[in-house]
Structure 1
Amino acid sequence: MTKRTLGISLYPDHSDVNEDKRYLVLASQYGFTRIFMSMLEVSEGKEKVAQKFTDLIKFAKDLGFSTTLDIAPNIFDQLEISYDDLDFFSELGADAIRLDQGFDGQKEALLSFNPQAMNIELNMSNDVAYLDNILSYAANRPFIYGCHNFYPQRGTGLPLDFFISASKRFKKQGIETAAFITSQSGTLGPWDINDGLPTLEMHRDLPLDIQAKHLFATNLIDCVIIGNAYASEDELRRLGELDRYQLVFRVELADEITQLEREILLDNQHVRRGDVTDLVVRSTEVRKKYKANDNPVNPASHTFKRGDIVIGNDEFGKYKNELQVVLQDHSDLRKNKVAQIPTDELFLLDYIGPWDKFRFRR
């Protein structure tokens, strides 16, 4: 399985190179390692464009970034080069080119054997047998990557079920995948319309870190890329701190929470039982660890709603100090409410399956 990574996007045709460099330095400090760089036009002439992109890509490479160039088909015409010769892009220092538009399958397979050893990124946002066709022509698999589109116009992003179906086509073939999330402070994109740049429409107005949590939680995306520029430092920090391999829910603590309950909640690795239930997510290992600790019934309400986190109290017998996340509303005097998951993260509960690991943080 591929290690999960974080990426940013740059738009040198629309931005100031010094601002781009400042952003790269900041992103590198928070653990970002991939760049999606748009090359939309060569209006300044081939040599000037080459100089600008070479400078920026080398600066990024020295910080540990790998760069994918997103190339519109008209760029090849403007540069008077063909898809059969990737020397120009290799000499810029790019590690990959992204093909927004596909060919016949045989062409992409041949491209994956390019002598410059550049990765070829394919558009993942079409739920058709595009990848299977390319692989059937004996493509060079280690050099084939997948990357979804982003959608600048509100209302045009992918629906979740379509996204999942399209992504599975790549994941089942073991191809490395990427998708976009959108900063709530970024204003730069490739076009004059910029209502955010997510892959999934449901992400457009969500905090950046929740979007990333969701993409990683699907287990279908290896690299999460911020589609627009520039994300704020707070957004970069939150993404840098993100656990890319398990869900970590933000929680709001209940006023009545005890020191023991706080420790059970925040200082332990939680694992959902393999024999799942519809009522709650059960984390049972903690009850064994804390079986000798008393936990009195608290005076708060014992009627719970979805997203509440409860811990068994002294009335719960052998289940005392078991932690549960409520999936369906119910009442039970034997459980104390200790925290709740914020509304905007509740949908992530659907991604805790049997034996899945999860944690909580304030």
Structure 2
Amino acid sequence: MKRSLGISIYPEHSTVEKDKAYLKLASEYGFTRVFTCLLSVNKPKEDIVREFKEIIEYATDLGYEVILDVAPAVFDQLGISYDDLSFFHDMGATGIRLDVGFDGAKEAMLTFNPYELAIEINMSNNVAYLDNILTYQPNAPFLYGCHNFYPQKGTGLDYDFFVKCSSRFKKHGIRTAAFINSHSATLGPWSINDGLCTLEMHRDLPIDVQAKHLFATNLIDDVIIGNAYASREELEALSKVNRYQLELSVEVLTDSSTIEKDIMFNEQHFRRGDMTKQAVRSTEVRKKHTQSDIPLHDHMQTFQCGDVVIGNNNFGKYKGELQIILEECYDERKNKVGKVVDEELFLLDFVDAWTKFKLKEK
């Protein structure tokens, strides 16, 4: 399934002009999904339609999918029915997200709405909710899953729980989404806004590292910035994230040669299937460098987790092999050429047997 990047807007807390500028900017960096929320809107129906319709039409003209977050209270407030979704169709929405679920049969029936609106359900519960919906034979292409975000510090999902919840959806091939947190943004649906991320461990991480992590799990298809407005620098950083394979940022040592940089950054790496605990071994690259000159440097030291090393001229047939150290070790036949940045060290856990990965100069 193709992967995408998304942003969030909150028209009730902003202006049409600001939202349009943000949508235009993000579209220039390849963003294609919009999340917006009706849960916190407290205005007459006519005002909501007018304000949201203009901004949604502008977003769809830019090529965005727009999902509206709703709950039963919203339907009651607006005097509309789940049996008639024309209200959302008339506003131009791509779909609605059900923050609160029903009995399974209702969700399945909603996916057959005549407007082909996507029906997105809450992923942040480790219960058989999705399985129940599937027993009622929904229109599968129009059934999505999306996690919650958590405005209060300390309340985001634990990673292991996140995996359990997400796996329930991914095993059925359901399109999935989760939220990450901008450090420049201040807007959300509620007055409390300590950041709007799904995973608590992401709250203080750089925004691109958050996205790398979600994509690396292979459980999330769409990564959405929960708060608004992310900075241009953050949008640009996210636009450069490789959505389909892990790309680790590496600080390069001064003495690293042109050949060593070429091995690091211009090769498609993968970890050998017969794994060792000591290092991630990318061995195919050495075949290109049997005749290359790789003089010794930065080799007489104890290597630490995250160090990137390459076999030097004294390493025989292993000359040119790239390794990422996982456990402290010493070997004079290897040159230290770089180091995975500290904030991405935890991503090494996602480099498994045969995992394809790339390195990128920090």
TM-score with structure 1 setting the length: 0.98
Determine if contact 1:149/1:179 at 8 Å carries over to the other structure: yes
Describe the superposition over 1:27-50 as per-residue Cα deviations: whole angstroms up to 9, x where unpaired.
000000000011135533211211
| Segment of structure 1 superposing worse, 66-75 or 325-334 | 66-75
**Secondary structure class of the residue paired with 1:76:** helix
The CA distance in 2 between the partners of 1:34 and 1:258, in whole Å, is: 42
Describe the superposition over 1:212-242 as per-residue Cα deviations: whole angstroms up to 9, x where unpaired.
0000000000000000000000000011111
The CA distance in 1 between the partners of 2:298 and 2:337, in whole Å, is: 12
Determine if contact 2:299/2:334 at 8 Å carries over to the other structure: no
Determine if contact 2:40/2:189 at 8 Å carries over to the other structure: no
The CA distance in 2 between the partners of 1:170 and 1:16, in whole Å, is: 36
Show the counterpart of 2:317.
Answer: 318
Show the counterpart of 1:291.
Answer: 290
Q: Which runs of 4+ in 1 moved over 2 A?
A: 40-44, 299-302
Determine if contact 1:109/1:138 at 8 Å carries over to the other structure: yes
The CA distance in 1 between the partners of 2:298 and 2:252, in whole Å, is: 15
Show the counterpart of 1:202.
Answer: 201
Show the counterpart of 2:276.
Answer: 277
Show the counterpart of 1:252.
Answer: 251
* Paired residue type of 2:289: Y
Q: Aligned ranges for residues 33-112 of structure 1 at < 5 Å? A: 33-112=32-111
**Secondary structure class of the residue paired with 1:13:** helix
The CA distance in 1 between the partners of 2:154 and 2:62, in whole Å, is: 36
**Are 1:155 and 2:154 matched, yes or no?**
yes
Instruction: Quote how far apart the aligned CAs of 1:347 are.
Output: 0.2
Describe the superposition over 1:328-351 as per-residue Cα deviations: whole angstroms up to 9, x where unpaired.
110000100000011110000000
Instruction: Quote how far apart the aligned CAs of 1:159 are.
Output: 0.4
The CA distance in 2 between the partners of 1:207 and 1:174, in whole Å, is: 29
Gaps of 5+ in 2: none
CA RMSD of aligned residues (A): 1.0
Aligned length in residues = 361
* Paired residue type of 2:333: R
The CA distance in 1 between the partners of 2:260 and 2:79, in whole Å, is: 67
Instruction: Quote how far apart the aligned CAs of 1:287 are.
Output: 0.4
**Secondary structure class of the residue paired with 2:280:** strand
**Are 1:126 and 2:103 matched, yes or no?**
no
Determine if contact 1:13/1:40 at 8 Å carries over to the other structure: no
Determine if contact 1:21/1:56 at 8 Å carries over to the other structure: yes
Kindly, what percent of the aligned residue pairs are identical? 60
Show the counterpart of 2:222.
Answer: 223
**Secondary structure class of the residue paired with 2:357:** strand
The CA distance in 1 between the partners of 2:47 and 2:123, in whole Å, is: 32
* Paired residue type of 1:271: F
The CA distance in 2 between the partners of 1:346 and 1:107, in whole Å, is: 44
Show the counterpart of 1:306.
Answer: 305
Q: Aligned ranges for residues 325-336 of structure 1 at < 5 Å? A: 325-336=324-335
Determine if contact 1:42/1:79 at 8 Å carries over to the other structure: no
Instruction: Quote how far apart the aligned CAs of 1:301 are.
Output: 3.6
The CA distance in 2 between the partners of 1:44 and 1:178, in whole Å, is: 28
